[in-house]
Amino acid sequence: MLNTGKTVQSLSDEYVVSTASINRWKKEFDPKYRIASEESKESLLKIKALEKELKEIKLERDILKKAVSIGMSNFMVVFTEPHYLP
């Protein structure tokens, strides 16, 4: 492993501990895994923030679409009334 050069399987056999437990401990206490875990947390927070922003932008877009369609329907009514036609 880290300092001994032993494999996870050999440690599992030697100490009668599951390989899953050893791998979990390795991820928990090995600094290189801890950095990756912290980066993953940061990435997840950034993804959540971006998803929230995207939801807000989609809502704004839908509101603007509806406003434009209402405006266009009013525009068409004004220019299709008989007193504006030749």
State pLDDT tens for residues 7-60: 888 888 988 999 999 888 887 777 776 666 677 788 889 999 999 999 999 999
Please report whether residue 79 resides in a domain: yes
d(CA 4, CA 47): 39
* 11: nearest Cα among 2, 3, 1: 1
Please report whether residue 1 resides in a domain: no
Please report whether residue 3 resides in a domain: no
Q: Which amino acid is at 34?
A: R
pLDDT of residue 32: 73
Residue 78 has pLDDT above 90, yes or no: no
Please report whether residue 62 resides in a domain: yes
Please report whether residue 80 resides in a domain: yes
Residue numbers of the domain that contains 68 = 8-84
pLDDT of residue 75: 61
Residue 70 has pLDDT above 60, yes or no: yes
Number of domains in the chain: 1
Spatial neighbors of 17 by CB under 8 A, at least 6 apart, are 11
Please report whether residue 20 resides in a domain: yes
User: Which secondary structure element, helix H or strand E, spans residue 79, and what is its range?
Assistant: helix 31-80
User: pTM (2 decimals)?
Assistant: 0.45
pLDDT of residue 58: 96
